[in-house]
Structure 1
């Protein structure tokens, strides 16, 4: 048995699964890290994660030797999910709805996690994983765009590279207004979607009202105070 609670087999040189309590600690750390990095971004430390998980920082380091390894594991499934959703959208029969549904998913994913947005935009951690995800997503998203354009439902000057930038932009809007209206990004997604059509007879109903002048002032004041601007 190793000092960190891993039971090793005697003659085969392999390792049995983590002891039950060690695995519980690992899952507790991942859940805590998801909350900390989602709300505070990648500037949060392993000490912050340990406090949130209610374990000693040494326990965190035994499971994850550094922050990069924790971040990479934490967001690996989310990145894979973005690729999978893009592939599922490509199989949808309606080219327009396929593109719109993926745009909404990508925007909601970025809006819900500061850490994931930082990871995908800057690749400070998990560079190989992020680069792989981008390489996997690029051809699928390109096909979504081209299929909608070939069907005549998407303006011809729209590019596949516009998709992630729209998602990042809406994520930033969600962060900016999180103190007063975290769902306001849906309003701007609807405005953007209306602008993607080559032509239209009317405009879509906006799902979220505009911020009031008072809410705008609250957002401006709270945005410079990270502890209050995110909830």
Structure 2
């Protein structure tokens, strides 16, 4: 590649990432009903320019799913040391960072998973990713129960409770008031629902 082509390629990649960022934000707020016009507006580009980079919103969503499957936080938690509670704390802190991409990716998956309009191929990929995330959380809950750092009980029920908590916080983090965002809870508060009773 000629040296003169590299700045052009860099600019294209920056614009491509800008469109993906806008799409991530819009999908997190509107779900699958988001349109290419919405995405272009969020990215502050014309629809024509958005279509030059991506042929459809399906293509954009597919790339967002691919990027979500390779998030560094999920890779790190599988290899890091520490207790199950340490791993959950790290993962949830990353997920609930309202200044990061994780919270929007989590929210868009929740909004679109049960949308009948979502194309079958994208639904299958999303269901696979969702199940992998649920399995990761469930394995950490079970590991924590074995070592006594997580309360005894049905791990599936604890998982459902944790996911409901996280989903509610994701909605608040994206759509809540500025006051709510200023007082957004951290992972230690969330994880209290999993801690054993003080007298156990």
Query: Is TM > 0.5 for Structure 1 vs Structure 2?
Result: yes
> 1:199 is matched with which residue?
197
Q: CA deviation at 1:183?
A: 4.1
Q: Does 1:130 align with 2:120?
A: no
Bigger RCO (CA 8 Å, 6+ sep): 2
**In the alignment, which residue of structure 2 is the partner of 1:105?**
94
Q: SS of the residue aligned with 2:179? A: coil
**1:216 corresponds to which residue?**
none
| Count of residue pairs brought into register by the alignment | 180
Larger helix fraction of residues: 2
Q: Distance in 2 between matches of 1:171 and 1:53?
A: 21
Structure 1: state its 5+ residue gaps: 1-18, 202-231
Q: Could you tell me which residue of structure 2 aligns to residue 63 of structure 1?
A: 53
1:1-231 superposed matches below 5 A: 20=9, 23=13, 25-38=15-28, 40-42=29-31, 43-81=33-71, 83-88=74-79, 91-108=80-97, 113-114=103-104, 116-123=106-113, 124=115, 125=118, 126-157=122-153, 159-160=155-156, 161-162=159-160, 163-175=162-174, 177-186=176-185, 190-200=188-198
Distance (whole Å) between structure 2 residues aligned to residue 175 and residue 53 of structure 1: 17
Residues 173, 200 of structure 1: CA spacing in aligned structure 2 closer, same or farther, 3 A cutoff? farther
TM, length-normalised to structure 1: 0.61
In 2: Cα distance, 1:99 partner to 1:32 partner: 29
Question: Does the 8 Å contact 1:171/1:185 carry over to 2?
Answer: no
Point out the structure with max Rg over C-alpha: 1
Q: Give the deviation of 1:121 after TM superposition.
A: 4.6
Give the distance between the partners of 2:94 and 2:154, measured in 1 at CA.
18
Distance in 1 (alpha carbons) for counterparts of 2:149 and 2:57: 44
RMSD: 3.4
Q: Any idea what the Cα deviations from partners look like across 1:159-191, whole Å, max 9, x if unmatched?
A: 25333322112223434633323143316x544
Structure 2 unmatched runs, 5+:
1-7
